[in-house]
Amino acid sequence: MEKTIKLELLAPAKNLATGKLAILAGADAVYIGGPDFGARSAAGNSWEDIELLIEFAHQYYGRIYVALNTIFFDNEIDEVKKFIDRAYEIGADALIIQDMGILEMDLPPIPLFASTQCDNSSVEQVKFLAAAGLSRVILARELNIKEIKNICEQTARPISRENPPRLANPPRLAGLGTPPKRGSGHPSQEGNKMDLEVFVHGALCVSASGRCYFSQAQCGSSANRGKCAQVCRQQFDLIDSEGKILAKDKYLLSLKDLNLSGALNELVEAGVTSFKIEGRLKDCAYVANVTAEYRQELDKIIEASGGKYARASSGKTEINFAPDQNKTFNRGYSEYFLRGRKGEIISPRTQKSLGELIGKVESAACSHFSLEKKHDLQNGDGICWFDREGELVGTNINMVKDGKIYPNKVLPLTVGTEIYRNENPAFEKAVERGVSRRIALDYIIKETKNGFKIEAIDEDNNSAALEFKTEKKPAEKPELAIKNWQEQLSKLGETIFSAREIIFDWDKPYFIPLSVLNEWRRKSAAALLKKRLKNYPRIKIEHQNPAQPYFHKNLDYSFNVANKLAKSFYARHGAKVVEPAFELQKDYRGKKLMTCKHCLKYWLNACPKGKPARKANFAEPLFLVNQGKKYLLNFDCGNCQMEIHSI
């Protein structure tokens, strides 16, 4: 049979409500944090809520991945094992992990995904993780499209499934006809296959993921333990070795947000199969808005592929608003390094969300101002701008009348100031109300000796047939009788289904009271949902603990080995841990705290590899200064990287 490659849209969930909305907005899968051991400790959830989200997503054959992407200590091993077992028991579809000590445990057959915290930036690393038993690798965000394509070509085994036999896609309601021929079966279980996932949208870490120790060094709060203090979002001074100030109070490490919505075709062609939106701390409006936009873009690719690609879950998403990435949280956007090093990737003036640019100030008075062009600002909107000192300030709008905007508080504004809207309550409400999702359902109505048999068949070919005994009374008005059957069986608003085709296999129409038809519809839909959930294609993996030689032999603190199981894992793979995790270090002096593709020498237009090469107008080495603490910059121009070291 023809193989179809499934493309997965993966959305974040802060909590149960956000996760449900992500599924309705078109996510094929959702990732969420459990009670502990997640890289976003502020986004933890109870097992009860995660189980409810799993039940909700599985109705649509959507998947739920639980984040277990922190390192752990020896005294936490038992708790981690309980976490894993609990996640499997409630039906989680995979665990996202960082700590390789997990692979030394007696694991249930749950797929494991290698978090981007594993620094998955090379073919060798991805091949090793695949051989070690990981089902998926989440690639490093710093990779460009050529590097991604190279990794895909050498390592990816894209998840495919046989096209399930389906009914044709006829008009939503049909009259008398012949029952369609149906195949059997459901999407095949995919087994232990490797696929590759990339981040396509959201906040970016300036450091290589999993290799950032800045927060731990400055605050004693480890990013690898889920407690990043986001030091990179703070202001810094940049000085040279002679004390010359090259930048003052700037957000020199605060990256703009990632936006690869215009590059999805390239990523699909490269071999990527999962497209991840960042944002486990974001609200419902953000998640639904961004998910809806990427759903529309991926659907265009799928539709144009002629059957080569398909959605990784079921149902059709209805989006009743115009998605706009600028209308919810963003720090400005870039494509990071996807197409190489170019353009501004940091937001040096602010680490906060600007939202959407509305226009420039045309005139300003004490109580109000006006803009140069037409706008749609409303009462209650939040606005912001940069003042004369370059500080971001803002307020809410009290009233918009006759083209004049009356802010909540008087703030000095000058003509030409750019005004941004960073709060849009009306849009956020429209987003949260504007998504729904339905599974297509077909009916076959057959006359029996003592009544009727109603078979309901969903788009994944699950079916449930119920027989109803009733008096059969030929309809005096055949056309009206058929219409009643069609209308009542199609009233599926309280379910996840929508009627697509109704086939009547009888000699003549029969009259049935509307109340009876409604009862039959409810029972048929409930039976089909039960069968659908029973047939959910859960993937199970047999973990075999193979011994594959690791391409690194001596592991320092940057390999984040924090427990005896991780040490045992690497020993089994021929590597020696010569230094424990940074979190177990007592002296941070001289340690490398970050490795970044972002380069401040490039930002200063002093890149020696530029064309033409630039001459530096400063004395090296350079230093970052934050809260009275000084950090050394080392420029590894051979690898086009910047390193930040403690002193």
Question: 205, 275, 246: which is closest to 39 by C-alpha?
Answer: 205
So where are the chain's domains?
A: 3-158+193-203+256-325, 237-251+547-645, 329-423
Q: Parallel, antiparallel, or unpaired for β 257-259 and 333-334?
A: parallel
Which stretches does DSSP call E strand in 427-489? 435-448, 451-458, 463-469, 473-474
Rg, C-alpha atoms of the chain: 28
| pLDDT (tens digit per residue) in 424-463 | 999 999 999 999 999 999 999 999 999 999 999 999 999 9
Q: pLDDT tens digits, residue range 542-563?
A: 998 888 899 999 999 999 999 9
3-state secondary structure 12-76: EECCHHHHHHHHHCCCCEEEEECCCCCCCHHHCCCHHHHHHHHHHHHHCCCEEEEEECCCCCHHH
Q: Which residues contact 450 (CB under 8 A, 6 or more apart)?
A: 469, 470
Question: CA-CA distance, 403 to 418, in Å (whole number)?
Answer: 17
Given a cut of 70, whether residue 318 has pLDDT beyond it is: yes
Q: Which of 429, 516, 532, 422 is nearest to 468 (CA)?
A: 516
Percentage of the chain modeled with pLDDT above 90: 88
Q: pLDDT tens-digit profile of 405-421?
A: 999 988 889 999 999 99
CATH of region 329-423, choose from 2.40.30, 1.10.3470, 2.60.40, 2.40.10: 2.40.10
Residue 325's pLDDT is what? 96
The average pLDDT across 70-74 equals 97
pLDDT beyond 50 at 233: yes
Pick among 3.50.7.10, 3.20.20.60, 1.50.40.10, 3.30.360.10: CATH of 3-158+193-203+256-325: 3.20.20.60
* Arithmetic mean of pLDDT, 35-60: 90
Using CB atoms within 10 Å of the CB of residue 198, give its burial: 0 to 12 exposed, 13 to 18 middle, 19+ buried. buried
Residue with tokens 């600028």: 326
User: Pairing mode, if any, of strands 392-401 and 404-407?
Assistant: antiparallel
Asked whether the predicted pLDDT for residue 185 surpasses 90, the reply is no
Tell me how far apart the alpha carbons of residues 140 and 144 are, in angstroms, rounded to a whole number: 10
Find the mean pLDDT for residues 487-512. Answer: 97
CA atoms in the 13 A half-sphere facing the CB of 261 = 20
> Given pLDDT bands bounded at 50, 70 and 90, which one contains residue 189?
very low
Asked if residues 110 and 91 have their Cβ atoms less than 8 Å apart, the reply is no
pLDDT tens digits, one per residue of 135-181? 999 999 999 999 999 999 999 764 444 433 333 333 333 333 333 33
The answer, as to whether pTM is greater than 0.75, is yes
Sign of CA pseudo-dihedral 214, 220, 221, 223: positive
Which backbone phi and psi does 435 adopt, to 5 degrees? -130, 145
pLDDT of residue 172: 35
Q: Which residues of 61-87 are buried (b: 16+ CB within 10 A; e: fewer)?
A: bbbbbbbbbbbbbeebbeebeebbebb
Helix, strand, coil shares of the chain, percent, nearest 5, are 25, 30, 45
Residue 187 has pLDDT above 60, yes or no: no
Three-class SS string for 71-83? CCCHHHHHHHHHH
Mean pLDDT (the chain, rounded): 92
pLDDT in tens, 246-274: 999 999 999 999 999 999 999 999 999 99
Residue 23 is predicted with a pLDDT of 98
Contact 368, 397 (CB under 8 A): no
Neighbours of 411 (CB within 10 A): 14
Q: How high is the pLDDT of residue 190?
A: 40
Residue 623 to residue 255: CA distance in whole angstroms: 19
- Which of 212 and 177 is assigned the larger pLDDT? 212
For residue 496, give the amino acid letter.
Answer: I
**H or E segment at 11?**
strand 3-13
Stretch 596-611: mean pLDDT? 92
The answer to whether 471 and 512 are in contact (CB under 8 A) is no
Under the banding of pLDDT at 50, 70 and 90, the label for residue 2 is: low
More confident residue, 483 or 160: 483
**Which of 200, 202, 208 has its CA nearest to residue 142?**
208
pLDDT digits (tens, 9 = 90+) for 96-149: 999 999 999 999 999 999 999 999 999 999 999 999 999 999 999 999 999 999
Q: What is d(CA 451, CA 446) in angstroms, rounded to the nearest whole number?
A: 9
Helix (H, G, I), strand (E, B) or coil at 602: helix
pLDDT tens digits, 330-358: 999 999 999 999 889 999 999 999 999 99
CB 291 within 8 A of CB 22: yes
Is residue 1 predicted with pLDDT exceeding 50? Answer: no
Q: Residue 416's CB: how many other CB atoms inside 10 A?
A: 9
